Amino acid sequence: MASWYGAPYHNRRGSNGEVYDMNAMTAAHLTLPLGSVVRITNLKTEHSAVVRITDRGPFVPGRIVDLSLAAAKALDVYLPGTAKVRLEVLQSPAPLDTGGRWAVQIGSFAEKKVAAEFAEHLQKRYQTAQVLKFESPAGGWWVRARVLGDDRQRASTLARETATAEGAVFMVRLD
């Protein structure tokens, strides 16, 4: 399932360090290496587009990719907001199945205090992790836990062991 993101994130830095341009052919994905080039096809309309992964997301369970506004328009996702898609990796700057730097992201918390309390809980439970809370450009608060060595297996364990009524838990590739 694909969705799209636009104005609240426009002209803000994406996960790859570039300024997000909602009019460029880009997308956000949780685990593909940043800089990967993918072909996305809308399964209903068969329209496809090639986009570059520049950001992380979507942070909504069941969604695989968040398209820029331009990509959403090209793929007929803009008006309905979501669509079933096929994603094909055309090029990747790093291996897909091994390596990488990993973290766990939890969000979205409506209140800063609740996010801070949850971050403190995670920090106490996983003392070698670096736990951060930060404001989402679209509102609300997110918590990110970076495990020792940004190790995929450690992050996976933390994700499996973590739950909160406030938000969903996601594995996120940092590179």
Q: What is the pLDDT of residues 27-50, one digit of tens each?
A: 999 999 999 999 999 999 999 999
Residue 170's beta-bridge partner residues?
A: 105
- List strand residue ranges (DSSP E) for the chain, in order: 2-4, 26-28, 37-42, 48-55, 65-67, 82-83, 85-91, 102-109, 130-135, 141-146, 168-173
**Spatial distance between the Cα atoms of 129 and 103, rounded to a whole number of angstroms:** 9
pLDDT at 156: 95
Q: Where are the alpha helices (DSSP H) in 16-145?
A: 69-74, 112-125
Q: Which domains does the chain have, with CATH numbers?
A: 2-91 (2.40.40.10), 102-173 (3.30.70)
From first to last of its 175 residues, the chain has per-residue pLDDT tens of 999 998 888 888 888 889 999 999 999 999 999 999 999 999 999 999 999 999 999 988 899 999 999 999 999 999 999 999 999 999 999 988 888 999 999 978 989 999 999 999 999 999 999 999 998 877 889 999 999 999 999 999 999 999 888 778 999 999 9
Strand order in the sheet with 48-55: 82-83, 2-4, 65-67, 26-28, 48-55, 37-42, 85-91
What is the gyration radius of the CA atoms in the chain, in angstroms?
A: 16
Q: Is 57 helix (H, G, I), strand (E, B) or coil?
A: coil
**Spatial distance between the Cα atoms of 47 and 65, rounded to a whole number of angstroms:** 16
pTM metric for this prediction: 0.85
First-to-last alpha carbon distance for the chain, in angstroms, is 23
pLDDT at 114: 92
